[in-house]
Amino acid sequence: MVDIATRVYNHSWKIDPIIRSVLDTDFYKLLMAQTIFRRHRDVAVTFGIQNRTTRVRLADYIDIGELREQLDHVRTLRLSRGESTWLRGNTFYGKRQMFSPDFVAWLESFRYPDYELERVDGQYELTFHGPWIETTMWEIPSLAILNELRSRGVTKGMGKFELQVMYARAMTRVWEKIQRLKNLPNLSISDFGTRRRHGFLWQDWCVQAMIEGLGPAFTGTSNCLIALRREVEAIGTNAHELPMVYAALADTDAETLQAPYDVLADWQEDYQGNLLVILPDTYGTTRFLRNAPEWVSSWTGIRVDSKDPFEGGEEAIDWWLARGEDPMKKLVIFSDGLDIDLIERLHRHFHGRVRLGYGWGTLLTNDFRGLVPDGKLDPISIVCKVVSADGRPTVKLSDNPTKAMGPRSEVERYRRLFEFAERAPQPVLV
Amino acid sequence: MVDIATRVYNHSWKIDPIIRSVLDTDFYKLLMAQTIFRRHRDVAVTFGIQNRTTRVRLADYIDIGELREQLDHVRTLRLSRGESTWLRGNTFYGKRQMFSPDFVAWLESFRYPDYELERVDGQYELTFHGPWIETTMWEIPSLAILNELRSRGVTKGMGKFELQVMYARAMTRVWEKIQRLKNLPNLSISDFGTRRRHGFLWQDWCVQAMIEGLGPAFTGTSNCLIALRREVEAIGTNAHELPMVYAALADTDAETLQAPYDVLADWQEDYQGNLLVILPDTYGTTRFLRNAPEWVSSWTGIRVDSKDPFEGGEEAIDWWLARGEDPMKKLVIFSDGLDIDLIERLHRHFHGRVRLGYGWGTLLTNDFRGLVPDGKLDPISIVCKVVSADGRPTVKLSDNPTKAMGPRSEVERYRRLFEFAERAPQPVLV
């Protein structure tokens, strides 16, 4: 029987919203937001979208009117009572009351701020100006909207069965990857795929398949809404925006150099345990580790992001050993461009030498490569990054020069300051 | 939103019925039933199940109580008003009123007769005794029930996502076959997969995928209920049971030899056009064609069943040529153990020399080979065949000795009578 009420309700939708909850975002956004809320809420920070896969002209697939409708819909959202209860009552990484009452109260009253949108050269320039605590919240929903509108644009007009078989193939592919993951001893893997997912329903499917297929080896999802609904742990730590803004706000070279460590000092006032994970690559991993204060080596782990993961993992282990720490008690989290082959190779290489964690993103929740002609659903490398703080440009160097960001002159200044050794650019898939 | 009424209705099911309609049967059963109804309705005919794939012990997967419940449920069915309207009002092969009012009236009052069921040596002995017109109706539903209960038995206990991925793989496989079929010029193919289908819903899915994927190259389905619901043509002609019963009822050798032609004589009183398709292999194709009366060569086509299809097709063409007929106006239907590779090879071989039709059965609607461990869902070769008529054993020789049926002494007698040349037995997959 058709559920008439559901059908009639669906008929009357103006749009089919992509983001339906303030919690449909990554957990690290809330963790960082709380840190920002406590210390830097009124810093004026601009975020902007950048599609690094320039060959894909997003404006060819996405109607600007539909994009506006989706973004405007996000601005109508507010945290629901049940979502607020989940944030207040849940255990995260074994800790209760990770979020303070004043932060949750702020989030309850939060509304997404306005945006600026322009179509330029087949791409969308989408920019968010305002207090850091507000603009930071746009990163994940804006990316999820652009990616899902693209998927919808590509799949529009496909036949019902053609579409079903496309999803059947994608499901089979995910499941085959999960079957291979089951063979890895002591695996800990989570979903980091919100921002570049094919779509919300698809991410939700992938998470459920991971739950059934991997059992406890699947440690959770970065997506708060899916974590709530599927009753798994919300996973995440922090990202480059913190050192980028801290460095931009610095008034002297000495303060700029100190900024990445200031981030960690603030962070460990707010969080403990598994949340004490260093992200060392914003201005080059090697120098960051070499100059890190002693207390940094007592942190739980390191997230290897833009560096070659084998090199980055070895570097972390060497560093801990040099600092008298036992790598077997330390956590190395890989999260950049992971897919099943790389995870298997990393696991073979590092298993038994260090605790391992995998944050599996785009190629978990958006691997439709080859499933439509001309690679029209191949994932793209699109980011929403902080651009300036209190009027000063922000800079990211990263271990892979392809991922460097900021005005050229500022990038040069940071390179000199951080004694950044020239590296060969690596292609960025996702 | 959950449709509460549907959920509550489903909760209260005693069983989940496999056969839900008198029309969930093959079209050829209704065509043959009308011919039987007009001439031989009261002949006492026994049908029995035979599982030729003896290594699969059906009783290990199918509970006898559940089997009884399904069979008993079939006995509660009666033709609905809408189904009756469809039979009366539909066009079949371009002809209106294919079924006479008295036959439809009979079908409206029809109830499935009783059955005998015993568990013997890990298999089920399932037998139907009674008037031919009634027992013949059991062939398709009894086979569909056994096949679907086996599928249910094998899939019981699988995880939700494991199950979804199994169907995803099966869907992908069907779709890939359809994509290959699209490349065949002037294709005419129909679904003949009711009896050995994985399940009703699956057959229905396969038919819909064929409709979307093949367009007019998909000519219809043998399943009347699916033809009604999906608004495609119901397809079918006749089967071995007609010559088998006619031969068994013969009192002299001459009458036995004449029986297969008597079937055709009766058939062409009842039907025309595309329904005039010879099934020549019951007692050996070669002799049947050689001795056939002249009027038989004017029939529309030949169904090549148990003979090697290349040999059978060539033999048909040669026969028409020898009888002064133009093969380009004739139809050759292949229907035995078809799968995509064989269809492609046959099409390459015969296309442009004769009109071609494919009746694609088990490997359309039940190809789950390799999708669960140990081939537990590989299709089996199970049949429901006429065993005796008015107390006399029936015999089938077939072009493939593996498919011969009947008591050994009777088979020998028929072989002598029909000058049946010894052939090497061929393995039977489905």
**Confidence band of A96 (pLDDT split at 50, 70, 90):** confident
At A335 the pLDDT is: 96
Task: Give B-chain residues touching A160 at CB under 8 angstroms.
Answer: 208, 212
At B10 the pLDDT is: 77
Burial of A357 (0-12, 13-18, 19+ CB in 10 A): buried
Q: Of B325, B336, B327, which Cα lies nearest the Cα of B281?
A: B336
Give how far Cα A333 sits from Cα of A177, A270, A300, B126, Å. Answer: 19, 21, 11, 61
Task: Give A-chain residues touching B172 at CB under 8 angstroms.
Answer: 165, 168-169, 172
Give how far Cα B359 sits from Cα of B189, B193, B364, Å. Answer: 6, 8, 10
Q: Which of A172, A176, A201, A230 to mutate to test the interface with B (most CBs of B within 10 A)?
A: A172
Share above pLDDT 70 across residues of chain A, in percent, rounded to a whole number: 100
Nearest-CB residue to B212 (from A2, A162, A168): A162
Q: Give the Cα separation of B330 and B301 in Å (integer).
A: 5
Task: Give B-chain residues touching A172 at CB under 8 angstroms.
Answer: 165, 168-169, 172
Nearest-CB residue to B172 (from A6, A9, A165): A165
| A173 part of contact set with chain B, CB < 8 Å | no
| B3 part of contact set with chain A, CB < 8 Å | yes
DSSP A301-364: EEEE-SS-HHHHHHHHHHHHHHTT--GGG-EEEE-SS--HHHHHHHHHHHBTTBEEEEEE-HHH
- Give the H or E element holding residue A226: helix A224-230
The torsion region of residue A370 among left (phi > 0), alpha (psi -120 to 50) and beta comes to left
Contact in structure between A145 and A66 (CB atoms under 8 Å):
no
| B212 part of contact set with chain A, CB < 8 Å | yes
| A81 part of contact set with chain B, CB < 8 Å | no
- The pTM assigned to this predicted structure is 0.91
List, for residues B384-396, the tens digit of each pLDDT value.
Answer: 999 999 999 999 9
Give how far Cα A27 sits from Cα of A159, A216, B212, Å. Answer: 36, 20, 42
Task: Give A-chain residues touching B9 at CB under 8 angstroms.
Answer: 1
Q: Give the Cα separation of A247 and B57 in Å (integer).
A: 73
| B168 part of contact set with chain A, CB < 8 Å | yes
Contact B212 A159 (CB under 8 A): yes
Task: Give A-chain residues touching B171 at CB under 8 angstroms.
Answer: 164-165, 168
- What are the beta bridge partners of residue B12? none
Closest-CA distance, A208 to chain B, in angstroms, reads 8
Q: Which phi and psi angles does B127 have, rounded to 5°?
A: -130, 145
Contact B2 A2 (CB under 8 A): no
**A49: helix, strand or coil:** strand
Contact A6 B3 (CB under 8 A): yes
**A386: helix, strand or coil:** strand
Running DSSP on this structure, what letter comes out for residue A215? G
| B159 part of contact set with chain A, CB < 8 Å | yes
Q: Give the Cα separation of A34 and A41 in Å (integer).
A: 9
How many helices and strands (H and E) does chain A possess? 18, 13
At A97 the pLDDT is: 86
At B11 the pLDDT is: 77
**Confidence band of A345 (pLDDT split at 50, 70, 90):** very high
Cβ count within 10 A of residue B190? 27
Q: Which of B2, B4, B163, B164 to mutate to test the interface with A (most CBs of A within 10 A)?
A: B164
Closest-CA distance, A166 to chain B, in angstroms, reads 8
Q: Give the Cα separation of A168 and A164 in Å (integer).
A: 6
- Read off the amino acid at residue A260: P
**Is A197 a residue whose pLDDT tops 80?**
yes
Contact B172 A167 (CB under 8 A): no
Task: Give B-chain residues touching A171 at CB under 8 angstroms.
Answer: 164-165, 168
Contact in structure between A118 and A125 (CB atoms under 8 Å):
yes
Nearest-CB residue to A172 (from B5, B160, B169): B169
Which residues, at least 6 apart from A166, have a Cβ–Cβ distance to it below 8 Å? A155, A158, A368, A371, A372
Beta strands at B218-221 and B301-304: parallel, antiparallel or unpaired:
unpaired
Q: Give the Cα separation of B368 and B174 in Å (integer).
A: 10
Contact in structure between A414 and A282 (CB atoms under 8 Å):
no
- The whole-number average pLDDT for the span A138-159 is 96
Q: Give the Cα separation of B301 and B333 in Å (integer).
A: 7
Contact in structure between B92 and B98 (CB atoms under 8 Å):
yes
List, for residues B211-221, the tens digit of each pLDDT value.
Answer: 999 999 999 99
**A53: helix, strand or coil:** coil
**A212: helix, strand or coil:** helix
Q: Give the Cα separation of B348 and B327 in Å (integer).
A: 16
3-class secondary structure per residue, chain B? CCCHHHHHHHHCCCCCCCCCCCCCCEHHHHHHHHHHHHHCCCCEEEEEEEECCCCCCHHHHCCHHHHHHHHHHHHCCCCCHHHHHHHHHCEECCEECCCCHHHHHHHHHCCCCCCEEEEECCEEEEEECCEHHHHHHHHHHHHHHHHHHHHHHHHCCCCHHHHHHHHHHHHHHHHHHHHHHCCCCCCCEEECCCCCCCCHHHHHHHHHHHHHHHHHHEEEECEHHHHHHHCCCECCCCCCHHHHHHHHHCCCHHHHHHHHHHHHHHHHHHCCHHHCEECCCCCCHHHHHHCCCHHHHHCCEEEECCCCHHHHHHHHHHHHHHCCCCHHHCEEEECCCCCHHHHHHHHHHHECCEEEEEEECHHHHCCCCCCCHHHCCCCCCEEEEEEEECCEECCECCCCHHHCECCHHHHHHHHHHCCCCCCCCCCCCC
Average pLDDT, chain A: 95
- Read off the amino acid at residue B279: L
At A9 the pLDDT is: 76
Contact A6 B1 (CB under 8 A): yes
| A209 part of contact set with chain B, CB < 8 Å | yes
Task: Give B-chain residues touching A5 at CB under 8 angstroms.
Answer: 1
Contact in structure between A198 and A150 (CB atoms under 8 Å):
no
Please name the residue of chain B whose CA is at the shortest distance from the CA of residue A215.
Answer: B159
The CATH number given to whatever domain includes residue A114 is 3.20.140.10
Average pLDDT, chain B: 95
Q: Which phi and psi angles does B335 have, rounded to 5°?
A: -150, 5
**Is B430 a residue whose pLDDT tops 80?**
no
**Is A77 a residue whose pLDDT tops 90?**
yes
Which of A74-88, B90-104, B151-165 bottoms out in mean pLDDT, i.e. has the lowest? B90-104
Q: Give the Cα separation of A28 and A359 in Å (integer).
A: 12
Please name the residue of chain A whose CA is at the shortest distance from the CA of residue B371.
Answer: A172
Q: Which of A158, A165, A173, A207 to mutate to test the interface with B (most CBs of B within 10 A)?
A: A165
Half-sphere exposure of A129 (CA within 13 A, CB side): 5
Nearest-CB residue to A5 (from B1, B167, B172): B1
**ipTM of the complex as predicted:** 0.86
Please name the residue of chain A whose CA is at the shortest distance from the CA of residue B168.
Answer: A168
Contact in structure between A42 and A131 (CB atoms under 8 Å):
yes
**Is A430 a residue whose pLDDT tops 80?**
no
**Is A420 a residue whose pLDDT tops 90?**
no
Contact A1 B5 (CB under 8 A): yes
| B10 part of contact set with chain A, CB < 8 Å | no
DSSP A120-186: ETTEEEEEE-SBHHHHGGGHHHHHHHHHHHHHHHHHTT--HHHHHHHHHHHHHHHHHHHHHHTTSTT
Burial of B427 (0-12, 13-18, 19+ CB in 10 A): exposed
Please tell me the total number of residues recorded for chain A in this structure.
430
| B2 part of contact set with chain A, CB < 8 Å | yes
**A399: helix, strand or coil:** coil
Which of A412-421, B6-15, B282-291 bottoms out in mean pLDDT, i.e. has the lowest? B6-15
Q: Give the Cα separation of B252 and B250 in Å (integer).
A: 6
| B209 part of contact set with chain A, CB < 8 Å | yes
| A6 part of contact set with chain B, CB < 8 Å | yes
Contact B161 A167 (CB under 8 A): no
Please name the residue of chain B whose CA is at the shortest distance from the CA of residue A174.
Answer: B165
* Owner of token pair 């690559």: A281
Closest-CA distance, A77 to chain B, in angstroms, reads 21
Cβ count within 10 A of residue A251? 8
- The whole-number average pLDDT for the span A280-291 is 97
Domain count within chain A = 1
Burial of B108 (0-12, 13-18, 19+ CB in 10 A): middle
Alpha carbon dihedral A251, A257, A258, A264, in 10-degree steps, equals: 120
**Is B248 a residue whose pLDDT tops 90?**
yes
- What are the beta bridge partners of residue B301? B277, B331
- The whole-number average pLDDT for the span A248-268 is 97
Domain that holds residue B296: 1-429
**Is A421 a residue whose pLDDT tops 80?**
no
At A428 the pLDDT is: 76
At A56 the pLDDT is: 96
| A160 part of contact set with chain B, CB < 8 Å | yes
Contact B1 A3 (CB under 8 A): yes
Q: Give the Cα separation of A271 and A254 in Å (integer).
A: 26
At A11 the pLDDT is: 77
Running DSSP on this structure, what letter comes out for residue A401? G
Cβ count within 10 A of residue A408? 8
Please name the residue of chain B whose CA is at the shortest distance from the CA of residue A168.
Answer: B168
**Is A210 a residue whose pLDDT tops 90?**
yes
Please name the residue of chain A whose CA is at the shortest distance from the CA of residue B205.
Answer: A161
**Is B13 a residue whose pLDDT tops 90?**
no
Which of A79-93, B41-55, B256-270, B354-368 bottoms out in mean pLDDT, i.e. has the lowest? A79-93
- The whole-number average pLDDT for the span A237-262 is 97
